Structure 1
Amino acid sequence: MRRILSDIFIVTAVGTISLKEKGGSTADYSYCDIWEFRDGKMLRLKAFVV
């Protein structure tokens, strides 16, 4: 699942990723990235992986 939400100043992406663990196995995680923009530049990025 992937979802991208946006308004004038904030873009939020929610989805799942697969990451390689130690030992070579793969694990699935959920993520949420929140980008905040002001004056055409990125002001802040918050990223969460669960």
Structure 2
Amino acid sequence: RGNVRRWLDVKVWDGKPETLNNIPFPETRSYLERIYADWDWYHKLYR
């Protein structure tokens, strides 16, 4: 939570899936890619 808050504060990452490549940690970037993909799938399914 600390790193993400810092990234958002200093504009490293704006919280949007289009800018995930700005996240400096590959593990975090990969995790968020999966979260966004799952969210998109659920959104389409239960819209």
TM-score (norm 2): 0.23
TM-score (norm 1): 0.22
Q: Is the radius of gyration larger for structure 1 or structure 2?
A: 1
More strand as a share of residues: 1
| Higher RCO, 1 vs 2 (CA within 8 Å, ≥6 residues apart) | 1
